[in-house]
Amino acid sequence: MRVMAFNGSPRKTWNTATLLEQALKGAASQGAETELIHLYDLKFKGCISCFKCKTRGGKSYGKCAVKDDLTPVLKKVEAADALILGSPIYFGTVSGEMHSFMERLLFPYLTYTDPPQSLFPKKIPTGFIYTMNVTEEIAQDWGYGQHFDKNAQYLQMIFGTSESLFCFDTYQFKDYTKVLATRFDAAHKAKRRQEIFPQDCQKAFEMGARLARQAE
Ligand SMILES: Cc1cc2nc3c(=O)[nH]c(=O)nc-3n(C[C@H](O)[C@H](O)[C@H](O)COP(=O)(O)O)c2cc1C
């Protein structure tokens, strides 16, 4: 069983990456082979709207025809048994790299039929881990939920199932005294990091284990 995770943060050791690592540990605890891909290590673009993935009888029907660093990654996805996406929230949405990745991952499998159908050959579970600076209350007030729900709907439609994990009020930088960030209470942030983040890590571990069990 193969479980793949995708880090949409440029930082490889911070909130999103740590939670993805925990999720993969959870998957490994159920016997899965795991791989974490840092999207910022790859040179790739979002969908270029060539429509080769939708060209009748074409050799790229149902596949992304663009050739770049994402090509071998998308090939591996074909053989994956579960997928876990992770992204920081940038300006109310996933990071640019994660968005570009999602365009390339999802669009080739989506048919332009009525109703739309998925060309992904099997049903696999997926998960999405979001990390963000705002509190849960602000995320609700600012309507972040709509964005999260949309992503879950697309993942469900293409792959089968999707669950989400939200990590709010994250610790953003090593030293709050060095950064001009008077909006944030450094002591509160440090407390969140110490007390809440470990709980989020545990939730991520459990998510990974659950997805791997569902994939069996
Ligand atoms: C360019 C940029 C934009 C951001 N925009 C938001 C935002 O709109 N809402 C939010 O809650 N946090 C925002 N943040 C904070 C990050 O989402 C948050 O610190 C996240 O946990 C960082 O993930 P990482 O530690 O894995 O890099 C932003 C951070 C950056 C660098």
Q: Residue 64: its pLDDT value, please?
A: 98
Q: Of ligand 1's atoms, which has the minimum distance to the CA of residue 138?
A: 11
Per residue in 170-181, pLDDT (tens digit) is 999 988 989 999
Segment 159-167 shows an average pLDDT of 98
**Cα-based angle 31, 98, 52 (whole degrees, multiple of 5):** 95
Segment 151-165 shows an average pLDDT of 98
**Would the pLDDT of 22 be above 90?**
yes
- This model's pTM is above 0.95: yes
The answer to whether residues 70 and 101 touch, using CB atoms and an 8 Å cutoff, is: yes
Q: Of ligand 1's atoms, which has the minimum distance to the CA of residue 170?
A: 21
Segment 41-59 shows an average pLDDT of 97
Tokens of 166: 């939200």
Question: What is the distance, to the nearest Å, from the Cα of residue 20 to the centroid of all Cα atoms in its chain?
Answer: 9
- Kindly give the distance from the C-alpha atom of residue 113 to the centroid of ligand 1, in angstroms, as a whole number: 36
**Would the pLDDT of 41 be above 90?**
yes
**Would the pLDDT of 60 be above 90?**
yes
**Would the pLDDT of 62 be above 90?**
yes
Q: Residue 4: its pLDDT value, please?
A: 98
Q: Residue 216: its pLDDT value, please?
A: 80
Q: Residue 164: its pLDDT value, please?
A: 98
Q: Residue 48: its pLDDT value, please?
A: 98
Tokens of 194: 């110490």
Q: Which residues line ligand 1 (CB under 6 A)?
A: 9, 11, 14-17, 88-92, 131-134, 170, 172
**Cα-based angle 153, 9, 141 (whole degrees, multiple of 5):** 55
**Would the pLDDT of 141 be above 90?**
yes
